[in-house]
Amino acid sequence: MKRILTYGTFDLLHWGHIRLLKRARAQGDYLAVALSTEEFNESKGKKTYHDFETRKAMLEAVRYVDLVIPEEHWEQKISDVQKYEIDAVVMGGDWEGDPRFEILRDHCEVIYLDRTEGISTTKIKNDLGENA
C-alpha cells in the first residue's frame, strides 16, 4: 500500500482543494492530510474562517481522505512521514523548491501538482469582499 501525505489549511473548501485531494489520492492507496491548526496559522499571519474541528470534519467527509492529523509547526514534517509510514508527500506546485518540503526527499518521494487555475481561498475572500 502506497501512503500519501499532503499539508494545508483547507479553510474555504473549494474545487481547487477537491481537485488536489483527488489527484493526491490517485498517487497512492491512502491519503493523510495534515491540517494546519489555528495556532499554527496565526504564527504564519493567517486567519481562518472555520475552526480546526470544522475544517477537519469537512475534510473527513471528502471520499479521497483517509486520515486528518493536526499540523502544529513547520518542523513536524519528517516525524509525520516516519510516524505515518508515508511513501510520498504531495503538494501544490506553488511549494516547489521550498526547503521545508525538499528536505523530505531523504525520507520519501515529494510530488508537486499544478494548482487549479482561477480558484484559491484568497481569490474567494477577495471576490466576496468586492461583492459584499
Per the CB < 8 A criterion, the answer to whether 40 and 71 are in contact is yes
Angle at alpha carbon of residue 52, lines to 15 and 14, rounded to 5°: 5
Residue 21: all three cell numbers together:
485531494
C-alpha 62: how far from its chain's center? Answer: 13
Helix (H, G, I), strand (E, B) or coil at 47: coil
Q: Determine which one of 46, 83, 123, 125 is catalytic.
A: 46
C-beta separation of 48 from 41 below 8 A: yes
Is residue 44 among the annotated active site residues?
A: yes
* Maximum C-alpha span of the chain: 47
Cβ atoms of 97 and 110 within 8 Å: the answer is no
Say which of 44, 83, 123, 125 is annotated catalytic: 44
* Active-site annotation, residues: 44, 46
